[in-house]
Structure 1
Amino acid sequence: MKRLILMRHAKSDWSLGQPDHERTLNKRGRQSAKALGRWLAAEGLTPDQVLCSTATRTRETLKRLALDPEPQTVFEDRLYHAGPESMFRQLSAATGTTVLMVGHNPGIAAFADEISATAPPHPRFHDYPTGATLVVEFDIDVWADLAWQSGVPRGFVIPRELLDSGEA
């Protein structure tokens, strides 16, 4: 069994006029990333490998998750605004049992939809807002055996739910 935690970066700050790749998180994004980290820990979702875009906002999201223990992490240029095919190739080469992939829309929403056998029953799944996180499991022994529409969704959350519920 393999598990993917597919996370879109938290809310970034457009007000500073930074180039897209260098945009940092805004205040809400920083709070959201911390809330997502606490949610992952509470759910027992500890990745042993991370595949993360090289963009500043994805790296900052990952850092603020405060994962413990710290997993093996690969910062990958090819995940910066990657489409579903590129994300599939990156995941197919993964070595971890539970892999966290941190990326960007619109590719991450399309990838989530195409990798899952069914959509989770959540009204925000298809637009995959900032910080959206899907947990999906695959009945495979190695990631090289990954197939489209083979994942079974086990959870989906958006930061607003965590912040509004007081779980953050």
Structure 2
Amino acid sequence: MKKIILFRHAKSRWDMGVSDLKRDLEEIGIDRTEKSAAYLSSIPDLKIDAWFTSPAVRAKKTAKLAVQQFKENPEIQVLENLYTFSFFDLLKEVKKLDDSIQTAILFGHNEAFTEFANRMGNEYLYNLPTSGIAILSFDTDHWKEIERGETLSIIKPKKL
């Protein structure tokens, strides 16, 4: 059984005049990320084996905020190819994960995350909001073999 946790980056600023990769977070995004991560960390028996983030500033900062809500202090690995808005590119990255990882958390971007949740889960999601989380499970022991799985949870920070 494999699980993937898609954690969309926090609401970001558009007023800074920087490239998309360097956009920072809005204050409301920080608050919502903390709420979502606290909720995630309270799920019984949730063990996250690997933490990965897009190289975008907003994704890396979201990951750093989220990890603070967990007791352990895992290493957050930057995966260059998580800076994508494409479902197909995201799927390629997920299928490359090491099979020793049972549960992975990814910090990244829409449209890739919403489309991944819709194509690979069994629950329709109109939009994964900023600081939103989708948790999916797959009945396989090998990441390269994942196919449509089960949507275990959708966490929307405005509803927390």
Q: CA deviation at 1:64?
A: 0.3
Q: Is 1:61 equivalent to 2:62 in the alignment?
A: yes
Do structure 1's residue 105 and structure 2's residue 105 form an aligned pair?
no
Matches of 1:160 and 1:77, distance apart in 2? 29
Structure 1: segments with no counterpart, 5+ residues:
163-168
- Within 1, Cα distance between the matches of 2:60 and 2:91? 20
**1:18 offset after TM fit, Å?**
2.3
Taking the TM superposition and a 5 Å limit, the aligned residue runs for 1:70-89 are 70-89=73-92
Residue identity in the other structure for 1:133: I
Give the partner amino acid of 1:142.
Answer: H
Amino acid at match of 1:151: G
The whole-number CA distance in structure 2 between the counterparts of 1:127 and 1:153 is 14
Structure 2 gap segments, 5+ residues each? none
| Structure 1 moving runs of 4+ over 4 Å | none
CA RMSD of aligned residues (A): 1.5
Q: Is the 8 A contact 2:12 2:25 kept in 1?
A: yes
Deviation at 1:103, TM superposition (A): 1.1
Q: Scaled by the length of structure 2, what TM-score is found?
A: 0.89
Q: CA deviation at 1:34?
A: 1.1
Show the counterpart of 2:43. 43
* Cα offsets for 1:52-92 (capped at 9, x unmatched): 11000000000001233233432112111231111111111
Contact 1:8 1:105 (C-alpha < 8 Å) held by counterparts: yes
CA contact (8 A) 2:117 2:151 kept: no
> Which residue of the partner structure matches residue 17 of structure 1?
17
Please give the alpha-carbon distance, in whole angstroms, between the structure 1 residues aligned to 2:73 and 2:49. Answer: 8
Residues 1:159 and 2:160 are matched in the alignment: no
Q: How many residues align?
A: 155
1:36 deviation in Å?
Answer: 1.6
Report the alpha carbon displacement of residue 14 of structure 1 after superposing the two structures with TM. 1.5
Change (3 A) 1:90 1:68: farther
Closer, same or farther: CA 10–46 of 1 in aligned 2, 3 Å: farther
Q: Does 1:114 align with 2:154?
A: no
Kindly report which structure 2 residues correspond to 1:112-151, keeping only aligned pairs within 5 A, or say none: 112-116=117-121, 118-119=122-123, 125-147=125-147, 150-151=148-149
Partners of 2:117 and 2:86 lie apart in 1 by 11
